Amino acid sequence: MSNKLECYQNGIRFENPFLVGSGPPSTNAKVIARSFDAGWAGSVIKTVSLDHTKVRNIAPRYGHHKVDGKCIGFTNNELITDRPLQVWLDEIKELKKQYPDKVLIASIMEEPIKENWQQLTDLVCKAGADMIELNLSCPHGMPERKMGQAMGQCPEIVGNVTGWVKEASTVPIWSKMTPNITHITEPARAALNAGADGITAINTILSVSGINMKNFQPVPNVKGVSAFGGYSYTAVKPIALRMIGELAMEFPKVEISGVGGIVDGQSAAEFLCMGSGTLQVCTGIMLDGFKMIERLNSELIDIMDIHGMKSVHELKGKSLEYFGTMAEMANRLEASKQKTKAHTDSFEGDNIVDVSKELTL
């Protein structure tokens, strides 16, 4: 594979920018090893906590949102790992022995108790994790225990947890942000002020996949009962790009790992252009398998070659300079003296479809 895709974040080398995001594709050492063999640069393990016995996963727990028979959105009610922590610590050690050049990132989650977070941090560091990702954002991350999104929506808690982990960690840490918030920069600022080395964004969006009109029950459900789940895949890409852009413009020197609808070289390049340095894929792997890394790499290289780029770093933040305000856009249009139907008087009722097309790029 061309070294054009080699990249660095927080002093750590990635053979390409593509990482397996925390979730089912990183649910144990066997599947993580499979991803490494396929060519993924690294993997964020399925989120671990100190006491796995409190985790009760359900089935069915996935729902598809389809348009014309094609899945564009994916809702999940997946919880964190239900496997013992010691098993994970042993697997981290073994994976690092087998794949020393791959990047293994420990995703951790705990209740807002300093001792718990620091104990968990110490254990995964000693096991050999290259980095730590703080899961402060899972929308169904056991909110009854004030975990996941319940933390991520409170900048004060985000800052506290990040600071606790920073004190105990011997490796770089990324704080993972929830999109289920008005201003994603607020918890991110709290994390960075507390010492986070980078930001992961975004986690899934709180959602309902759909309603079964035969019985009026939400999809998915267990014996007729459902709960709001996390929405992912291609439909969330526009939201993820916007939030990553907000983070990159607000914190221009901060490392960002982008997540949310990356399925091909085009979407990967878009995330890089908005400020991401690495790219995480989860739902795409669940639907297309680990082999999709071959297409991701080749298509991203094709885009770089078109622009004569020799390093993937050249794409980072490439599009941020083109963002401004609505007023600036209007001023430029007026200055160009371009004939346009921008005024709302152009809409006359039955012509709404045609005018809408004219106003679409």
Q: Hey, which residues are catalytic here?
A: 138
The two tokens of residue 78 are 């997946």
The DSSP string of 123-168 is HHHHHT-SEEEEE---TTS-GGGT-THHHHT-HHHHHHHHHHHHHH
Q: Which of 144, 143, 120, 146 is nearest to 133 (CA)?
A: 120
What DSSP character marks residue 3? G
The 10 Å Cβ neighbour count of residue 97 is 9
Helix (H, G, I), strand (E, B) or coil at 61: coil
Tell me the β-bridge partners of 212. 217
User: β-pairing, 173-176 with 131-135?
Assistant: parallel
Helix (H, G, I), strand (E, B) or coil at 251: coil
Identify residue 93 by its one-letter amino acid code.
Answer: K
User: β-pairing, 12-14 with 18-20?
Assistant: unpaired
Q: What share of the chain is helix, strand, coil (3-state, %, to 5)?
A: 40, 20, 40
Q: Alpha-carbon distance 25 to 82, whole Å? A: 15
Q: Given the structure tokens 């201003």, which residue do they identify? A: 183
Task: Confirm if 257 and 276 have CB atoms less than 8 A apart.
Answer: yes
What DSSP character marks residue 225? B
Q: Which of 128, 145, 169 is nearest to 51 (CA)?
A: 145
Task: Confirm if 30 and 36 have CB atoms less than 8 A apart.
Answer: no
